[in-house]
């Protein structure tokens, strides 16, 4: 097993059209960039290992994925809202977004450790950025000058991983890569709204944008941007996607069909619409990466 490292920037453009099925990050090709059928064997996952990052320095699903919100997040972002949310409302929205991705899943939990860990981006040119410079998931509000990867995007999520096989939620070693840290950045020059009723005003719905970025933090990508490498169990986007606990790739096949309700859809050049629920395909992607199993406790 090699512990070389790699990273992949996943940029969210508050950007139209979604497609059925889910896709993982475009660089995870299993070293066969032309053959998409085996891409799922190269997926990046949070490893199902015991322990807390804050308490034991362990990065993984044990004790929940711990996230930190920068102390100046509210002061930077609230002036950009066309309505007037409070900081407690934004913080509650962040927790609710994480909780929605974790809903009904025995191994997914997200814990706010903002009072105990200071978020930090890897410094430019860091030799080992995958080691993590803050908590497991750090959330910032920055300008594109401070964080050039943003450009004109409203948010950008970058994850780091090791070329090391993770432990799956079934307690078994899974092929692929092990996530170590995530940096989620919201553009402090963009435009947002908190109230879902204010859609159509040319700004991004904060809660919906957040849901999209959390999907990236789990290693999902934009299905509409990579139509040739989307996976599903059938061609009906409204059907739940059955995932086999012991063999997560079982029954999954490439599918280009369209699903306009997917949270992981990108909307190039447009504000993100209001999306308050995960689609069957969003859940299918989550459950592929982190299968719901009746067995398989976290192991060292």
Confirm whether 295 is domain-assigned.
no
pLDDT in tens, 50-96: 999 999 999 999 999 999 999 999 999 999 999 999 999 999 999 99
The tally of domains found in the chain comes to 1
In a domain, 299, yes or no: no
Q: What is the CATH number of the domain that holds 158?
A: 3.40.390.10
Give Dmax (Cα) for the chain: 51
**Quick check: is 55 in a domain?**
yes
| Top-confidence residue, 292 or 258 | 292
Quote the pLDDT of residue 21. Answer: 74
Say what the pLDDT of residue 257 is: 74
Angle between helices 206-217 and 87-102 (to 10 degrees): 40
Q: How do residues 199-216 score in pLDDT, each as one tens digit?
A: 888 899 999 999 999 999
* Local confidence band at 239 (pLDDT 50, 70, 90 cut-offs): confident
3-state DSSP assignment of residue 36: helix
Confidence of residue 198 (pLDDT cuts 50, 70, 90): very high
As a whole number, the mean pLDDT across the chain is 87
Give Cα separations from 129 to 46, 113, 163, 180, 214 (angstroms).
Answer: 17, 21, 14, 10, 20
Which pLDDT belongs to residue 258?
A: 60
- Asked if residue 215 belongs to a domain, the reply is yes
Task: Establish if 35 belongs to a structural domain.
Answer: yes
Coil vs helix vs strand at 67? strand
* 277 in any annotated domain: yes
89 lies in some domain: yes
Residue 124, domain member (yes or no)? yes
Please state, for a pLDDT cut of 90, what percent of the chain lies above it. Answer: 64
Most confident option among 98-112, 125-139, 220-234: 98-112
Domain that holds residue 95: 5-289
Mean local confidence (pLDDT), 239-246: 88
């Amino acid at each position: 097993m090699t512990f070389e490292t790699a990273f992949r920037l996943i940029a969210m453009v508050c950007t139209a059209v979604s497609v059925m099925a889910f896709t993982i990050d475009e660089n995870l090709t299993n070293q066969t960039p032309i053959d998409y059928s085996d891409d799922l064997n190269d997926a990046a996952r949070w490893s199902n290992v015991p322990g807390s990052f804050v308490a034991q320095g362990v990065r993984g699903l044990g004790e929940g994925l711990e996230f930190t919100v920068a102390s100046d997040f509210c002061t930077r972002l609230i002036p950009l809202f066309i309505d007037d949310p409070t900081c407690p409302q934004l913080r509650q929205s962040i927790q609710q977004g994480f909780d929605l991705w974790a809903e009904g899943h025995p191994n997914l939990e997200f814990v706010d450790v903002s009072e105990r860990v200071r978020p930090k981006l890897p410094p430019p040119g860091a030799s080992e950025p995958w080691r993590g410079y803050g908590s497991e998931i750090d959330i910032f509000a920055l300008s594109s000058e401070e964080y050039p990867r943003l450009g004109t995007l409203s948010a950008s999520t970058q994850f780091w991983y090791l070329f090391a096989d993770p432990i799956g939620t079934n307690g078994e070693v899974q092929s692929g890569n092990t996530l170590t840290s995530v940096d989620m950045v919201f553009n402090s020059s963009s435009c947002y709204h908190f109230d879902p009723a204010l859609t159509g005003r040319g700004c991004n719905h904060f809660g919906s944008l957040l849901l999209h970025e959390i999907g990236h933090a789990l290693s999902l990508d934009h299905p509409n941007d990579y139509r040739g490498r989307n996976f599903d169990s059938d061609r009906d986007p409204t059907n739940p996607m059955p995932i086999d606990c012991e063999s997560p790739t079982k029954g999954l096949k490439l599918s280009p069909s369209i699903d306009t309700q997917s949270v992981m859809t990108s909307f190039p050049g447009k504000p993100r619409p209001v999306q308050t629920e995960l689609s069957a395909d969003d859940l299918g992607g989550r459950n592929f990466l982190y299968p719901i199993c009746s067995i398989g406790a976290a192991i060292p």
